Chains A and B, each alone.
Chain A
Amino acid sequence: MNHSHSMTHGGNARPHVLPDGLFVGIWVGLLLLTAATVSASVFFPGKIGILVAVLVTPAKAALILMYFMHLKYEKPAFVAMFLVAVGILAIFMGLTFFDYLHR
């Protein structure tokens, strides 16, 4: 009985393993993006530096999420759940600023 009742849902198959070269490439990309943010803030302090940070930081986060954390290769449900979590955090921020930006 136990066997008929057990994991027929699957999900225990061996995953496809990404090549190490890809990870090293992502790592190099992350370092380059970090260099870009840092040099922007050093050489163009103020608006441009901030703008570069605002654009590049999410890109770095996306690389980590998609490749290191494998999210690109997971089922769409994982991506959807992640977006829900981040989206709700964004809502928290946005609605709070309806207060602080209009005081």
Chain B
Amino acid sequence: MSADHAHALEAGRGNDLPVHRDDEGSKTGMWLFLFTELLLFGGLFLIYAVYRSMDGAAFHHAAEELNRTLGVTNTVVLLTSSLTMVLSVSALQRGNRSRSLAMLTATFLLSCCFLVIKYFEWSAKYHHGIFPGTEHIHALPAGEGLFFSLYFMMTGLHGIHVVIGMIAMAIVFAKVRSGSINQDRHGALEYVGLYWHLVDLIWVFLLPLFYLTN
């Protein structure tokens, strides 16, 4: 036997060789990963709940500083991106590659839009001196400072997830276009979709916690 064969035998023992392929298993793994994401944010939700229960009034007061219009707009943007994502997956499942790619592009653009809005929101706060570690935020009443810290931590962590999601989208876009993700092997696109919906799901909770609190 040749060295190449042995190499392929060992290196190819992943779940992507046809004989080893197990979509159900990959999907199980993906969901388990989503649980860890859920619990990661869960820790922050717990901190939010504790400090809000300790000083609800400060949370209401501080929340007035946030721009509700931008928050709601971003919710609409993200919900729509979830729609285009799911349409991209189902288009590929029906074998319509160009529609799948178009929908994926739309999702990507919407997530860019989300980040741009987020950028303006954060930089407005930053110009008012509201950012972790600034003099201004340390001068605020303790409860309000905690609210803003939570705001930056939770939307920040969420924003990181948006960026990771966009990188994943770019990768699957290239693979759908090259045909290595196709109607019969659409798992990777589906998992990126699952991840993206989770990002959306978490934002659904962030909206009332921060923007609709006052």
Whether A and B touch (Cβ < 8 Å) is answered with: yes
Chain A interface residues toward B at CB < 8 A:
2-3, 6-7, 9-12, 14-15, 17-18, 20, 23-24, 26-27, 30-31, 34, 37-38, 41, 45, 49, 53, 57, 60-61, 64-65, 67-69, 74, 78, 81-82, 85-86, 88-89, 92-93, 96-97, 100-101
Which of A9, A31, A88, A96 contacts B22 (CB under 8 A)? A9
Given A89-B45, A100-B53, 7 further pairs, Cβ under 8 A: A7-B20, A10-B24, A23-B83, A23-B90, A34-B207, A57-B208, A61-B205
A31 touches B214 (CB 8 A): no
User: Are A37 and B39 also in contact (CB < 8 A) when A7-B19, A65-B201 are?
Assistant: no
* Chain B interface size, under 10 / 10 to 19 / 20 to 34 / 35 or more: 35 or more
Chain A's nearest CB lies how many Å from the CB of B69?
10
CB distance from B113 to the nearest CB of A (A): 16
Q: Is the CB of A85 within 8 A of B204?
A: no
- Shortest Cβ distance from residue B99 to the other chain A in the assembled complex, whole angstroms: 10
- Top 4 A-B pairs, shortest CB-CB distance: A11-B24, A6-B19, A53-B208, A41-B212
Question: Of A12, A41, A45, A85, which one neighbours B208 at CB under 8 angstroms?
Answer: A41
Q: How many contacts A-B (CB < 8 Å)?
A: 120
* A81 smallest CB distance to B (angstroms): 7
- Cα-based distance from A18 to B193 in the complex (angstroms): 15
Asked if B93 and A14 sit within 8 Å, CB to CB, the answer is: yes
Interface of A is mostly: helix
CA distance A27 to B84 in the complex (A): 10
- Residues of B near A7 (CB, < 8 A) are 19-22
A48 → B minimal CB distance (Å): 12
- Give the distance in Å from the alpha carbon of A3 to the alpha carbon of B53 in the complex: 59
Contact A38 B72 (CB under 8 A): yes
CB nearest neighbor in B for A60: B204
Interfacial chain A residues near B23, Cβ < 8 Å: 11-12
B166: A residues at CB distance < 8 A: none
Q: Which of A18, A53, A69, A101 contacts B53 (CB 8 A)?
A: A101
